[in-house]
Structures are given as structure tokens and as C-alpha cells.
Amino acid sequence: MTLLRTLVRQSPFHRAMRDYPASLLGLACLLLLGLGSVLLLPFIGDPRDFIAEPLLGPSTVYWFGTNGQGQDVWRQTVAGTASSLGLAFATGMSMTVIGALIGLIAGYTGSWIDKILSYATNIALVIPGLPLAIVLAAFLPSGPWSLYIVLVVTGWAWTARVFRGLALSLRSKDFVLAAALAGESRLRIVSFELLPNLLASFASSAIGATIYAIGAQVGLEFLGLGDMNRVSWGTNLYWASNDAALLTGSWWIFVPTGLCIALACSALTLVSYAVDAVNNPSLRAEQVLNKRLRDPLRRAIGVTPLAKEIRHALNA
């Protein structure tokens, strides 16, 4: 038990989380949204039930009011959060795995494979994602699997570019050369020498991909591409706009879903600050330095920073 605790304490993620309280807050928000919606799901009843008159405002009976078809907005928000976050995490992860694989293969093997893969990556980056996603989603049969495929196809390229760069820089590092000289196989070098060093970058890319997945998924569903019988963030907003929520002034139909989306995206961004600090220790050093400079007692016994760093810190 103590061993486990020490391991957790010494992990770079834990240290980064400690230095970035905002990231801890982001993590808490994500857990609240994700776990909360999934745990509530069995208790709220079918979100598609018509329970009352349409367009009732928020009240003690229906906390978030009812939508244009007389469905409970609270139920729809909870169910939408569960399904949209689930799909976003799944697609974000897959996008990152595929992108990272392509990038690593390109960067590590070099030669003509790299030429082809990185040319393809650059082209995939420059072709606008959302319009392509729209065309693809329109032709594919509607359903969550189509959304999944469409998002992964349009979103892998950024990760691939990042990981190609990482692989290129790691490949020439001394410890990798040493392993190669010691006669280790390529597979072993990639899985035991490279991958542990890429973990934080992977987490950071996965967060970015999840944010993209949320935005693109909501956008596609808002356009009416996707399974309209499913309850999700995008379909909630689609029906809100279709049932003229704006012209009737029914703000309660679209505000809860939008707040959930923004909360999820900002929470992910906050978590990424801590992950970036694991990636780039100099960021953490700056944060720690700023903290110490603000504390007069620590300043007396603490570090002796460079003049320009003191100026920056004192400005802050």
C-alpha cells in the first residue's frame, strides 16, 4: 500500500497536478460530468418520453423545463452528456493511437516510407476537416459508428505530425543509439525505449483530439448528420434550433447543453496544462519559481534565480 502511494506520489503526473491546482479542478469537473452522467443514467428514465406540455420553463417539477416536443430537458442533458462524452473519448483515443502510429512509423523508419507518410499527413492537415466530415457523414449510413469513422478519418493528422517530430528527435538520442548498438531489436527499442518517453505527449495529443471530437461531433449533429434518434449534445441543439427555441425565447432548451460542452472542453484544456508541464519540465520550473518568489520566507532561503526571471516573476 505504502509502495503504491510512493509510486503515485513520485509519478510526474502527480507532481504536475500538485503544481497546477487548476488542472486538478479540471480533472474533478471531467469526473463529475462523466461519472455523474453515467451514474444518473439509470435513474432518470427515458429522455425521449413525452412527459409534459412543450416549452415549459424551469420549475421545481421539471428542473430544466421541457423542450419543444414536451421532453424533459434535464433528462436530455444527462443522457446527452453521457453519450457525447463517451463517443468523444473513444474517438479521441482512436484518433491519437492511429495518428501516433503513423507519425512514429514515419519518423522512426525514415527513408521513402517517411516521405510518403509525411506528405500524406501534410495534405490531410491542409484539407479542411469539418467540410470533409460533412460530406463523409452524409454518404455513410447514419449512426454513432459513422460519426466515429468520420471523426477518426478527419482528425488523425495533427497527432501524426507531432509524433513524427518526436520520433525524429528521439531517434538520434544517445540512449536509443546505445540500445541499438547493444543489439536490441527494433520492436524492443520502440516499446521499451521510445514509448515511455512519449506517454506525456500521447496524453496531451489525446486531450486535444478529444476536444476536436467534441466540437466536430456537435457540429455534425447540429447540421442533422448523425443518428437523430440518439440523444446527444448535438441532437439536443439540433432540435432546439428546429423547434424554434430562439423565436419563442426558450433559453432553457439550449443553455444547459452548451454549458456542459464548454465545461467539458475547458476542463480538458485545464488538465492539459499539467500534462504539458510533464512534457516540458521548464514550464513547471517557471511555475515553481513564481510560487517561491511570491513567498518572502522561501525567497530568503530559496533559489537564486537569474535577474530576468526575477523581473518576470515580480511583474506577475
Q: Please report, as ranges, the residues that interact with another protein according to CB under 8 A.
A: 119, 122-123, 125-132, 134-136, 138-140, 211, 215, 218-219, 222-225, 237, 240-241, 245-247, 249, 251, 254-255, 257-258, 261-262, 265-266, 269, 308, 312, 315-316
Give every CB contact of residue 290 below 8 A, 6+ residues apart in sequence.
313, 316
The residue among 45 and 143 lying less far from another protein, judged by its C-beta, is: 143
CB of 257 to another protein, least distance (A): 8
The residue among 44 and 138 lying less far from another protein, judged by its C-beta, is: 138
CB of 241 to another protein, least distance (A): 7
SS3 of the chain: helix, strand, coil, percent, to 5: 80, 0, 20
Q: CB-based burial of residue 82 (10 Å sphere; 0-12 exposed, 13-18 middle, 19+ buried)?
A: buried
CB of 59 to another protein, least distance (A): 20
The residue among 50 and 139 lying less far from another protein, judged by its C-beta, is: 139
Backbone angles phi, psi at 72, to 5 degrees: -75, 120
The residue among 178 and 303 lying less far from another protein, judged by its C-beta, is: 303
Backbone angles phi, psi at 71, to 5 degrees: -95, 155
Question: With helix as H, strand as E and coil as C, how does 15-57 read?
Answer: HHHHHCHHHHHHHHHHHHHHHHHHHHHHHHCCCCCECCCCCCC
The residue among 17 and 240 lying less far from another protein, judged by its C-beta, is: 240
The answer to whether 27 and 17 have CB atoms below 8 angstroms apart is yes
The residue among 171 and 312 lying less far from another protein, judged by its C-beta, is: 312
37, three cell numbers: 452522467
- Residue reference for cell 538520434: 172
d(CA 2, CA 5) in angstroms, rounded, equals 5
CB of 208 to another protein, least distance (A): 12
The answer to whether 92 and 210 have CB atoms below 8 angstroms apart is yes
CB of 284 to another protein, least distance (A): 15
The CA-based angle 190-202-157, given to 5 degrees, is: 95
CB of 54 to another protein, least distance (A): 18
Shortest CA distance to 164 belongs to which of 208, 194, 203, 126?
Answer: 194
The residue among 109 and 269 lying less far from another protein, judged by its C-beta, is: 269
CB of 246 to another protein, least distance (A): 5
The residue among 189 and 277 lying less far from another protein, judged by its C-beta, is: 277
CB of 4 to another protein, least distance (A): 35
The answer to whether 266 and 32 have CB atoms below 8 angstroms apart is no
CA atoms within 13 A on the CB side of 248: 17
Q: CA dihedral defined by 213, 225, 49, 65, rounded to 10 degrees? A: 70
